[in-house]
Amino acid sequence: MAGEEGETAMTRRQWDSQTKATVVLQGLKGRSVADICTEHQVSQAQYYQWREQFLKKMPELFSNTEHREQSLVHENNRLKKIVGELTMELKKLNEWSE
């Protein structure tokens, strides 16, 4: 049994997201899946699971960029309006002080 003296329980390896992406990208670039899996000591089933996760989340990369661009355009317009209002106030104050 695990936990008895001299025996150890099998532990699952934890793969960081960068390593998973690197492994998947190597396969997408045409490298043999068998070679990749052997090099990284990953089963082919694991590779294909990671690939599916990777491909499923790829559209988010572009949608987040579009959302960010829209937010920046909105913020830019808001700030331009504020600058315009402050400029008008400054002109009025300068006219009154003359």
Domain boundaries, the chain: 17-97
Cα 40 to Cα 16, 34, 35, 60, distances in angstroms: 13, 10, 9, 27
Average pLDDT in the 20-43 region?
A: 95
Q: Among 9, 6, 12, 67, which residue's Cα sits nearest to residue 42?
A: 12
**Confidence grade of residue 61 (pLDDT, cut at 50, 70, 90):** confident
Residue 21 CB partners (closer than 8 Å, separation 6+): 54
Q: Among 51, 38, 49, 40, which residue's Cα sits nearest to residue 13?
A: 40
Q: What is the pLDDT of residue 98?
A: 77
Q: What is the pLDDT of residue 8?
A: 55
